[in-house]
């Protein structure tokens, strides 16, 4: 009786895996963790850009484009205008500062995935 139960569970698991592989073969798209994190976040996307010490809020489309052009994005934790900033994309003294929802939304853009 114990062996039959194990075989049944194994067959069901293999069946589910085969269904997922077939769906993947036919091009089904799966939601990624980044989009789920943005939807579950209570924070509004926030982005700021700056040269040297001057930092100003920037609209999200311009921000994503500018952040993608930078050489490096690093993790940090600071607060700007009451918004917690967690990412800094920078080249030299120019930098783009994003909170986590903004960073995840930017990473969803087609030009970021290249």
Q: What is the mean pLDDT of residues 98-107?
A: 87
- What is the per-residue pLDDT across 90-102, written as a single tens digit (0 to 9) for each? 988 889 999 988 8
Closest to 74 measured CA to CA, from 57, 60, 59, 91: 91
52 in helix, strand or coil?
coil
Domain extents in the chain: 1-30, 33-112
Which residues in the chain belong to E strands, given as ranges? 47-51, 54-57, 72-80, 83-91, 94-98
**More confidently predicted of 112 and 23:** 23
70 in helix, strand or coil?
coil
Q: Residue 33: pLDDT band by 50, 70, 90 thresholds? A: low
């Amino acid at each position: 009786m114990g062996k039959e139960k194990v075989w049944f569970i194994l067959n069901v698991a293999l069946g589910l895996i085969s269904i997922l592989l077939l769906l993947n073969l036919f091009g089904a798209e799966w939601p990624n963790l980044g989009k789920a994190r943005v939807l579950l976040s209570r924070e509004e996307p926030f982005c700021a850009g700056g040269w040297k010490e001057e930092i100003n809020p920037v609209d999200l489309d311009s921000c994503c484009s500018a952040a993608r052009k930078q050489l490096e994005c690093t993790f940090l934790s600071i607060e700007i205008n009451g918004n917690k900033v967690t990412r800094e994309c920078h080249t030299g003294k120019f930098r783009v500062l994003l909170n986590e929802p903004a960073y995840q939304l930017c990473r969803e853009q087609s030009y970021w995935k290249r």
